[in-house]
Amino acid sequence: MKIIECRDISKMYFRQKALEQLTFSIEENKITGLIGRNGAGKTTLLKLISGFIKPTAGEIKVFSEQPFNNLFVSANSILVDDSMSFPAALNLGDIMDAAAAFYSNWHQPLAEGLLDYFSLEKYKYHNRLSKGQTSTFNMIIGLASRCPLTLFDEPTIGMDAAVRKDFYRALLKDYLAFPRTIVLSSHHLEEIEHLLEDVLLIKNGQCLLHLPIYDVKEMMISVEGKLAIADQVLQEKEIIYEQSIGTNHVHRVLLREEASVEELQGAERMGLKIRPVNASDACVYLTDKGKGVIDDVFNKN
Amino acid sequence: MMSLIKTDLVKVLKMQYLFKFKANIDVFSSLIGIQLLAVLFSFGGFYHSTHGWGMVINLQQYSANIVICFTFIWALITAITITTKPYRHYDFTFVTNRLSSSLSNILFLLTVSVLGSITAMLSSNLIKFIVYMFLDDSIVLFKQPFFDFFTGMITTSLYTFLFCSIGYLVGAFIQYHKGFSVVIPVLFMGLLIFDGMTMNSTTITGFTEFYIKESNPFYFLLKTILMSSLVLTAAISIFNHLEVER
Amino acid sequence: MNVVTILISIIAVVIAIFLLSKRFKMTYSLLIIYIGALLISSIFIWFISIEDERERIKTDEMTNQFNETLRQGERERIDPLYLMKEETFQIDEDQELTLTSNYEWEVRVYVDRKNIDDGKVEASIYHIGPYVDGVYVTDSLAPYRLKKKEDTLGFYVPQDRTVKVTMGAPEFTVTQFKYGEVFSEDPIYANDPAIYLQVPKSLKIKRGEGVFIDYVK
């Protein structure tokens, strides 16, 4: 069953396109990573799915219903981000009570256990938490609500490395105990790639790819070696990314499907180093395509 | 497969209504603050001296009129406040749609209007009590006709709720476009000045007289309820299109 | 009075300390204290309140009725409450009696000729009010005086006395329906005094300063 279905959705903000003709669908009980650079439209997409905003064009369906102004979608989904708004008059314990009232799948032991583990006190107030604590608390609300559709928008902002690791572990454990559809947005994939089943990569409001994480890991290879040899071997092949190392060495990335196994073996014999590209780098190369690298900015001067 | 939660408007409304009492508890602090301030201003009372028949009667009258007026201002401000982003977005953290958010806000405003009006009416006793404590030599004529308290409470509640409704609509306009936060006060002052210059009650004063000059309780009830419904319907339809930009 | 004040303040402070000391939300404590104060003062005021049994006096109606009744000579129909004073003076019927008054406006004198010449002038002073908010507050009123000196009968209003009255006015949300307008009317009502004179049949009467004479029948 498809939980989220988007067909040609666009969203304009003051005549500026945030999303453009995005089409994809997300299956039930999958953990999908929503990957993209800053400003790619990740937050806009998640807000569309939550029904916070309306698409300018196209059709979006969550649980087969339009999410905007939809109680059913609201009751079955939660969007967790660092700007989640809680009343200043409520302390953390009160907020958890409120969440328990609203979300019928709410699991109080989990919420209390996590709160205790992350050393957050119930009588503290949300607006007095540090950035990392805010993210941690919001994440606890998101996990304990056990909504059939749980959306995390950059959930780890401000968290330190240890808390981030714990968070991902908690997410995975609770997902296994209580499978649900999760969309996790992030701009660095390497941290979350072990959790993900699918990757949805967006750039400039458009969907670049939507593939299982395994395929993304296998998607590209990198070739490194002398410039002359590389030019010879990689003739007529589409290079996704290129970086010069010194004056006569080069590092090039290309799609695995561009080159056959024989060609690659031949290249290795000629002294080129062939390596697979990890998923995170693959996504960076895809979203960077055409822009070159930061070095170029400096090389021009 | 995970079973999806069925929900209906009434259930969500009930939850949001209860939630709002906890979330917006601070409106009661401001209510108490503003009413106590008004009580303080009421100690002056209304002085009136009549001379004749071989006597001078110095009459000092005390009432909760100032408290009631301050409560109206409080109602207006409270209604505008709960339309602002942080307050609207609490709902969206949990389960809501725009209609249920507005309806629960209206139910909340209705309840605080009644509560604020009861305390405003009772505050007249607090004023009288304190005045009585400091009285030295005077004939004291305090009466407590229950029926007056009852009608006063209902009328004050209706007025207060009308102010809440107007505040809610003003808030809706401001949320729709920030420019209204300038336009509305300017328009209000402008119309007031216009009324003053033309020396007749057409706009703001006319609107006020429409209510305060109504001496038939039934018509008054009708006028306030109709106006509130009209104003709130407009506000709901504005909010129904607003996006959440958190 | 002061004992009550002190006692109530002490109780209020104790309750306040109790509410504020516990891990209690500030707003809840404030609400409880405020509502408590309102209720206590309401109960207190309820104890010292007077009953609102008297109907609102229809002032114009009452004045007209009063004057009309006296003009008809049916003074037994007037509530004895409003009869302030009765006095009898001896008089020689050949005299001409001049009526005067120092009242700031003209005092109405209703002259009722008796059927006989008995040498007696019987005077009654009627006065309605003053009422404040429907309550009769004449207890502190200095009575009017009648004085006969030779052929002049004078009506004298004593030196002004100051009365201080403290009252609770109904709120405008009450008066709007109760009196039909937001601003409640003047709660003080009093009628000008009137003198009812029963004079011998053939006595001549002369109008002096400050009086207006009305003959009965």
The distance of B81 to chain C (nearest Cα, Å) reads 18
- For residue C58, name the pLDDT band (cuts at 50, 70, 90): low
Per-residue pLDDT band at C177 (split at 50, 70, 90): confident
Q: Is residue C53 part of a domain?
A: no
Each residue's pLDDT tens digit, B162-182: 999 999 999 999 999 999 999
Please state which of the ranges B20-34, B229-243, C16-30, C168-182 shows the lowest mean pLDDT.
Answer: C16-30
pLDDT at C1 over 60: no
Query: Within a domain: residue B85?
Result: yes
- B55-73 pLDDT, tens per residue? 788 889 999 999 999 999 9
Residue B189 is assigned to a structural domain of this protein: no
Q: What is the pLDDT along chain A (301 residues), one digit of tens a residue?
A: 889 999 999 998 888 888 888 999 999 999 999 998 888 889 999 999 999 999 999 999 999 999 999 999 999 999 999 888 899 889 899 999 999 999 999 999 999 999 999 999 998 899 889 999 999 999 999 999 999 999 999 998 889 889 999 999 999 999 999 999 999 998 778 888 888 999 999 988 888 888 898 888 888 888 888 888 888 877 777 788 888 887 888 888 888 887 777 888 888 888 888 888 888 888 888 887 665 566 666 766 5
Q: What is the pLDDT of residue C167?
A: 87
Question: Over chain A, what HEC string results?
Answer: CEEEEEEEEEEEECCEEEEEEEEEEEECCCEEEEECCCCCCHHHHHHHHHCCCCCCEEEEEECCECCCCCHHHHHHEEEECCCCCCCCCCEHHHHHHHHHHHCCCCCHHHHHHHHHHCCCCCCCEHHHCCHHHHHHHHHHHHHHHCCCEEEEECCCCCCCHHHHHHHHHHHHHHHHHCCCEEEEEECCCCCCCCCCCEEEEEECCEEEEEEEHHHHHHCEEEEEEEHHHHHHHCCCCCCCEEEEECCCEEEEEEEHHHCCHHHHHHHHHCCCEEEECCHHHHHHHHHHCCCCCHHHHHHHC
pLDDT at C120 over 90: no
CB-nearest to B93 from A1, A70, A84 is A84
With CA atoms as reference, the chain C residue closest to B29 would be C27
For residues C76 and C119, membership in a common domain is answered with yes
Percentage of residues of chain C with pLDDT beyond 90: 3
Contact A253, A221 (CB under 8 A): yes
Q: Is residue C187 part of a domain?
A: yes
In a domain, B209, yes or no: no
Say yes or no for a CB contact (<8 Å) between A28 and B1.
yes
Find the domain containing C32 and state its range: 2-48
Give contacts of C26 with chain B, Cβ < 8 Å. Answer: 29
Total count of domains within chain B: 1
Name the residue facing A89 among B25, B98, B245 (closest C-beta).
B25
Task: Write down the pLDDT at residue A267.
Answer: 82
In terms of domains, do C100 and C152 share one? yes
C70-119 tens-digit pLDDT: 888 777 777 777 777 788 888 777 778 888 887 777 788 888 888 888 88
ipTM value of the model?
0.86
Q: At what angle do helices B9-23 and B85-93 cross, to 10 degrees?
A: 130
Residue B230 has pLDDT above 90, yes or no: yes
Q: Which residue of B has its CA nearest to C157?
A: B54
How many domains does chain C contain in total?
2
Residue C78 located in a structural domain: yes
Residue C203 covered by a domain: yes
Best mutation target among C166, C177, C178 (most B Cβ atoms within 10 Å) is C166
From C38, C164, C180, residue closest to B123, measured CB to CB? C38
Residue B119 belongs to a domain = yes
Of residues B93 and A301, more confidently modeled: B93
Which residues does chain C have within 8 Å of residue B132's beta carbon, measured at their own beta carbons?
44-45, 48, 166
Give the pLDDT score at A214: 87
Domain assignment of residue B1, yes or no: no
Chain A nearest CA to B16, separation (Å): 8
Q: What is the pLDDT of residue A260?
A: 79
- In angstroms, the first-to-last Cα distance of chain A is 54
pLDDT of C55 strictly over 70: no
* CATH architecture of the region A2-215: 3-Layer(aba) Sandwich (3.40)
For A217-300, the fitting CATH number among 3.40.50, 3.30.70, 3.30.160, 3.30.43 is 3.30.70
Looking at the fold, whether C203 and C147 belong to one and the same domain comes out as yes
pLDDT tens-digit map of B94-126: 989 999 999 999 999 999 999 999 999 999 999
**C20-50 pLDDT, tens per residue?**
665 567 788 888 889 999 999 999 988 888 8
Residue C171 in contact with partner chain B when CB distance is under 8 A: yes
The yes-or-no verdict on residue C140 having pLDDT over 70 is: no
Residue B142 within any structural domain of the chain: yes
User: For residue C52, what pLDDT is reported?
Assistant: 63
Q: Any residues with CB less than 8 A from the CB of B204 and at least 6 apart, and which?
A: B188, B191, B192, B195
Q: What is the pLDDT of residue A264?
A: 81
Phi and psi at C34, nearest 5°, equal: -65, -50
Q: What is the mean pLDDT of residues B132-148?
A: 83
Sheet with A16-27, edge to edge strand ranges: A16-27, A2-13, A57-62
Interface A-B, measured as beta-carbon pairs within 8 A, has a size of 96
Contacts of C133 in chain B (CB under 8 A): 141, 143
- Return the pLDDT at A97: 93
Comparing alpha-carbon positions, the chain C residue that sits nearest to B219 is C177
- The pLDDT of residue C139: 60
Q: How far is C93 from chain B (nearest CA, A)?
A: 32
pTM given for the model: 0.86
Indicate the average pLDDT of chain C: 78
Range from A147-151, B209-213, C178-182 carrying the lowest mean pLDDT: C178-182
Neighbours of chain A (3+ CB pairs under 8 A): B
Q: Which residue has the higher pLDDT, B6 or C150?
A: B6
Q: Does a structural domain hold residue B84?
A: yes
List chains adjacent to chain B, taking adjacency as at least 3 C-beta pairs closer than 8 Å.
A, C
Q: Do C12 and C102 fall within a single domain?
A: no
Given a contact cutoff of 8 angstroms between Cβ atoms, the answer to whether B171 and B235 are in contact is: yes
Computed over every residue of chain B, the mean pLDDT equals 90
Residue B246 has pLDDT above 70, yes or no: no
Q: For residue B172, what are the β-bridge partners?
A: none
pLDDT, position C124:
85
Look at residue C144 and tell me if it is in a domain. yes
Are C15 and C88 contained in the same domain?
A: no
State the nearest Cα–Cα gap between B128 and chain C, in angstroms: 7
Mean pLDDT for the stretch of residues B184-193: 92
Tell me whether residues B53 and C193 touch, CB distance under 8 A: yes
Residue B79 lies in a domain: yes
- Quote the tokens at residue A75: 């009751």
User: Nearest CB to A83: which of B2, B5, B246?
Assistant: B246
Chain B residue numbers touching C158 (CB-CB < 8 A) = 54
Domain encompassing residue B153? 9-176+214-239
Which is more confident, C58 or A216?
A216
Which residues in chain C (79-138) have CB-CB distances under 8 A to chain B?
104, 127, 129-130, 132-133, 135, 137
Determine the pLDDT at residue A94: 92
Give the pLDDT score at C21: 60
The confidence score (pLDDT) of residue A286 equals 81
Contact C30 B32 (CB under 8 A): yes
